[in-house]
């Protein structure tokens, strides 16, 4: 497993060792010892989630507040997504900055999203299966988010807006300034 830095503090890409032959391929999606060795972090993942989405489905930008914030290790099992994170930690040197990456079933990259980041993705392929490990349990009362088209962030979602499929709940999310106040 190889660690690649991103421009955002504490957020990084993990590239697994993939073994291919005439039968197909094999790689470890997660190994606690290797994760700790490469990252220098001890993260106790307690919940795994998976979603299936069709092209244009935009989920996010989501986060949980305060003590119930979640660190996530995200990956694509099938398909291709644009994954976007935003640092919402007020005391961070990268507060308000975003990072995006294509995650797919070809490169098998994973993104570690630390606590205090808003996270979202949009499916670019016909279908995606998106998987993520969380270090804190989901808590409805502490959930929050940022509207996908916030002018302050000016995020590029790589698809025309008329192709977006967004839940009513996500369409009602506040802008960046309101979400972090």
Catalytic residue among 27, 62, 108, 148: 62
Is 178 in a helix, a strand, or coil?
A: helix
132 is catalytic: yes
Catalytic residue among 27, 132, 137, 158: 132
HSE-up of residue 31 (Cα within 13 Å, Cβ side): 12
Q: Which residues have a Cβ under 8 Å from the Cβ of 21 and sit 6 or more positions away?
A: none
Q: Give the separation between CA 116 and CA 89, rounded to whole angstroms.
A: 5
- Is residue 111 within 8 A of residue 85, CB to CB? The reply is yes
Q: What is the DSSP letter of 136?
A: S
Q: Give the separation between CA 14 and CA 67, rounded to whole angstroms.
A: 26
Q: Which residues have a Cβ under 8 Å from the Cβ of 135 and sit 6 or more positions away?
A: 43, 44, 45, 46, 70, 71, 72, 115
Q: Give the separation between CA 76 and CA 51, rounded to whole angstroms.
A: 10
30 is catalytic: no
Hey, which residues are catalytic here?
62, 132
């Amino acid at each position: 497993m190889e660690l690649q830095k991103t421009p955002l503090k504490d957020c990084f890409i993990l590239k697994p060792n993939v073994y291919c032959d005439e039968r197909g391929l094999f790689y470890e999606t997660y190994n606690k010892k290797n994760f700790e060795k490469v990252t220098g972090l001890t993260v106790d993942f307690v919940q795994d989630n998976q979603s299936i989405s069709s092209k244009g489905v935009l989920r996010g930008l989501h986060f949980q507040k305060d003590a119930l914030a979640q660190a996530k290790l995200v990956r694509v099992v099938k398909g291709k997504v644009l994954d976007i994170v935003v640092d919402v930690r007020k005391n961070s040197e990268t507060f308000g900055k975003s990072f995006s990456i294509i995650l797919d079933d070809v490169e098998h990259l994973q993104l570690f999203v630390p606590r205090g980041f808003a996270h979202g993705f949009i499916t670019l392929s016909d279908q995606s299966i998106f998987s993520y490990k969380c270090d804190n349990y989901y808590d409805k009362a502490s959930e929050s988010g940022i509207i996908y088209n916030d002018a302050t962030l000016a995020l590029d979602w790589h698809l025309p807006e008329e192709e977006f499929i967004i839940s009513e709940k996500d369409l009602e999310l506040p802008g960046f300034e309101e979400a972090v106040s």
